[in-house]
Each structure stands twice: as C-alpha cells, then as structure tokens.
Amino acid sequence: MSLTDLQIKRLKAPERGQKTYYDPGLPGFGVRVSQGGAKTFVVVYGKGRRRQSLGRYPDVSLSEARILAKRAQADIALDDLTPSQDLPEVSFETARDKFLADTEARTKTRTIDEYRRLLHRHFHFSGSLQELTRDQIARPIETLRATPSEQQHAFVAIRTMMNWCVRRGYLHVSPAPALTFKSKPRERVLNDIELAAVWHRAEGYGWPYGPIVQLLILTGQRRGEIVGLRSSWIEDQMIRYPSEFVKNQRPHSIPLGDWAMSIIEDLPEGIDLLFPSRLDDEKPFIGFSKAKVAFDRELAIAPYTLHDLRRTFSSTMAKLGTPIHVTEKMLNHVSGTISGVAAVYNRHAYIEEMKEAYASHEAHIRSLIEMHRPES
C-alpha cells in the first residue's frame, strides 16, 4: 500500500541519525526522517543507486513528490544507456549567466531583459546549484505576495531557468516548487479627471517617460510596443510592427493620429529606437519602476498601472461608439470578435475605420484635458 499523508505525519524521528521509509507503491521513493524531526522526500534511481532529495514535507506535497520522483527515474533511465556521469559543480550565479546568454539568442529582447531583471533582483543563492532546495526558491517568491504580477513573473523566470539547468545537465530534477497563483482580473479604468491629471503630468515630465505615457494614452498600445518602437517602422503616418516583435506573433499595423505623430516627431533624433536605454542605444528603456514612482509622486489619484491606460483607451472607444471589431484591431486582440474561422476569411485591414476612431479619440482627449486643466 502506498504512503499516505496521515502515515507521513505520524512518522516518528529516530533517536539518532536518519531513517528512510520507502513507498511500496513506487519503488525507490520514500521519506527520510531526521533526528530533529524533519521529513524530506527522496528518490533512489539509476544503476549506481544514486539518491536525490526532492524537498521537505509539507512544503512539497506527497503528490508533487511522487511526480518529481517518477520524472527523475524516467530521466535517469535514459542516462543509464550511456556511461554514468556526476553532475558538474556549478554555482547559481554561473548557471544564471549561462542561461541568460544561451536564451538571449532564441528569445525576444523584451523577454530576456525581463528574465535578467527578475533573476538578479529576487534570487540570490550562494553555494552550489545542486544544493539549492525548493524552500530556498519558494521563500523569495512568497515575499512578493503584495505584488501578484511581479510574483508570478518571478516564478516563471526561475522555473524556466531551472528547467534549462536540467536540460543542460546541471541538475537531475528541477528544484522549482509547483506553485499556483490566483490573481483577480484588473478592472481599473481611469476616469476623465484622472486621465487628464496623468496627461498634464506627462506633458511637463520630459523624455523618455513623459512621451511614453502620452503615446500609451493616445494609441492604446502595450507598454512594450511603445517603448520598443523604432522610427524605421513608421512610414506615411503608419506604424507597422513586425510579427517577431509583437506579443501574439502577428504583424500589426495601426495609423497614427496627428497628435501622436507630432509627439513622435518631437522626440530626439539620431537613432532608430525611439526610447533607448540610458546605457545602450540598441536596447529599449527599462527604468519603469523608478520612473513611475517619481512620476506618480505628484499625482493625487488612486494607484494605477500603465496597462490600465490601455484598458481606459478601450473603454473610451466604447464610450465614443467605436465598433468593437475596430477597437480590437487597434489593440491587436486576436481572440475577440474576429477570431477563429472569421479571422482567416476576414482580411480587411480596417485602416480607414481606425483612422476615424483615432481622430475621434484624440479630439476627446483634447477636450477633457482642457476641461480639467490644473490651476496655475
């Protein structure tokens, strides 16, 4: 009969040393109980009967541990076809740098920059990579509960790196815990007074963050689509995003309103990337955290995110009577009213409809910022 949670809870600590209780239902898998009472899942595998720790109970559940044990035994079954090799001694920092370098050639610049930021900011481990435990990875992730989006992105980054380490041969089994996140869908839409306040703040804030915010308000595009914008993608007052840049991997073209075009024409000239990093003209601006804190310091409105500006744009389009399929074309949504079979047969670009919608939107923005101009 297989081990159960109740049995594991009742296992007593030995008077000295450690004792392993194996699971009859999964040969090689068991729980090692230390003299101090700690209970650790282990798996024995391979011709050399190697033993791997899978994490402590109850941080790792019994069902999770069984999955990890089966995965380890399946991986080693393949390794047994070749001469056995010990894992190389690699530090976390070395593995991280090699992961980023290897992934950079196959991943979008925005994604690898985000991986780099998250891994350097949240995960600091000394010692060998092979000594890294699930608890050590889980702890920094748990400290990010107040920022659910950052928490989930950090988890994805470390899980992706650990999976790469397994494929690279640095680890037999990924120590990344099997975490799940429940996030409430955001519903924040800025009202006219709030949107006008953000605009007026952006007007006097300066390049690059001020114009970025203005273009987010006027175009409704994603943050990455504005900050990664290149002058070579703009022609005849149209932005033509290449498919490899856009989130959904589909070419995306939108017309620019006169106001948005004038903001772009006033940006510093000389390089293709409109909003480059302070240190590298070939990499987009990444200093959003510090810039937004400074930007919001003088705004007397409720907390908001830059993505809320995109949601506000969509809501404003509805208020102005823009057909939903035109709005979705502007936002480059592929799962909306024109999707599936309809998307295959409907190749109409809706350029004229989008031009009309953007003109209407810019007129609306002009009226509300005049109506809610701050007192000097």
What are the residues facing 52 on neighbouring strands? 43
312 phi, psi to nearest 5 deg? -65, -40
Name the residue among 47, 108, 139 with its Cα closest to residue 284: 108
- Average pLDDT (315-341) is 80
94 to each of 88, 126, 127, 156, 192, how far by Cα in Å?
12, 11, 11, 19, 50
Q: For 257-307, how does the pLDDT look when each residue is reduced to its tens digit (9 = 90+)? A: 999 999 999 999 888 999 998 888 888 998 888 899 999 998 989 999 999
Q: Residue 367 has which token pair?
A: 């009226």
User: Tokens standing for 218?
Assistant: 């006027």
Phi, psi (degrees; rounded to nearest 5) at 128: -75, 145
Residue 51: is its pLDDT beyond 60? yes
Beta strands (DSSP E) in the chain are 18-22, 29-34, 39-45, 50-57, 234-235, 238-241, 252-255
CA distances from 91 to 112, 151, 163, 184, 297 (A): 20, 24, 16, 37, 40
Residue 81 in this model has a pLDDT that exceeds 70? no
Confidence of residue 253 (pLDDT cuts 50, 70, 90): very high
Work out the average pLDDT over 222-240. Answer: 95
CA distance 33 to 14: 7
Going from N- to C-terminal start, the domains of the chain cover 5-79, 92-168, 192-371
Fold category of 192-371 in CATH: hpI Integrase; Chain A (1.10.443)
- In terms of average pLDDT, the best of 175-189, 208-222, 283-297 is 208-222
The CB-side HSE value for 221 (13 A sphere, CA atoms) comes to 25
Domains 5-79 and 192-371 share a fold: no
Buried b or exposed e, range 289-328, using 16+ CB within 10 angstroms: eebeeebeeeeeeeebebebbbbbbbebbeeeebeebbbb
The CATH code of domain 5-79 reads 3.30.160.390
Strand partners of residue 128: 91
Question: Which residues are within 8 A (CB) of 236 and not within 5 positions of it... i.e. 6 or more apart?
Answer: none
**What is the mean pLDDT of the segment spanning 103-123?**
84
Would you place residue 47 in the very low, low, confident or very high pLDDT band (cuts 50, 70, 90)? low
Buried b (16+ CB within 10 A) or exposed e, 252-266: bebbbbebbbebbee
Mean pLDDT of the chain: 86
